[in-house]
C-alpha cells in the first residue's frame, strides 16, 4: 500500500519539477526577458493575480498533494488524488493545446506532454489503489 503512496507522491513532485523546467527554459528564449521587463509575456499582461494563480496551480498544489499523498488515510487519499489528478490532467491538456497552437519550441511541447502523463498516471494509480 505504501508503494502506491510513494509512486503518487513522486509523480506530484515530477509535475512540479516539469513546471519549473518550462519556466527556466522559457527565460533562455531570445526576447523573453525584455517582454517580462515590459510587464507581459507572450501577449499576456503579467500582474499579481496571474503570478498568484501560477504559484498556486503550478507549484503549491502539487507540492501539497505530494505531502498529502504520503500522510492522508487511504480512502481520502485515493479520492483526493483522483480529483486533483483529473483537474491537473485537464489543465495540462489545455496547456499542451495552447503550446501546439502557438508553435511552441519542441522542449515546451515535450515537457507539456510529460505534464499530461504525470497527473494521468496519478489518476490511474489512485483508481487502481488496492482495497483493504
Residue 2 confidence (pLDDT): 62
Query: Which triple of cell numbers denotes residue 23?
Result: 519556466
Domain map of the chain by residue range?
A: 2-127
pLDDT in tens, 87-131: 999 999 998 898 888 777 888 889 989 999 999 999 999 999 887
103: left (phi over 0), alpha (psi -120 to 50) or beta: left
pTM of the model: 0.89
pLDDT in tens, 13-71: 999 999 899 888 888 888 888 988 898 887 789 999 989 998 999 899 999 999 999 99
Amino acid at each position: 500500500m505504501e508503494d502506491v503512496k510513494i509512486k503518487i507522491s513522486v509523480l506530484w513532485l515530477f509535475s512540479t519539477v516539469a513546471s519549473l523546467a518550462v519556466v527556466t527554459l522559457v527565460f533562455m528564449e531570445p526576447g523573453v526577458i525584455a517582454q517580462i521587463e515590459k510587464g507581459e509575456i507572450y501577449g499576456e499582461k503579467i500582474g499579481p493575480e496571474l503570478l498568484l494563480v501560477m504559484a498556486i496551480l503550478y507549484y503549491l498544489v502539487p507540492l501539497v498533494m505530494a505531502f498529502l499523498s504520503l500522510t492522508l488515510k487511504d480512502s481520502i487519499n485515493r479520492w483526493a488524488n483522483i480529483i486533483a489528478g483529473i483537474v491537473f490532467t485537464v489543465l495540462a491538456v489545455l496547456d499542451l493545446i495552447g503550446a501546439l497552437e502557438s508553435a511552441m519550441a519542441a522542449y515546451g511541447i515535450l515537457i507539456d506532454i510529460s505534464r499530461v502523463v504525470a497527473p494521468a498516471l496519478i489518476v490511474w494509480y489512485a483508481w487502481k489503489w488496492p482495497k483493504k
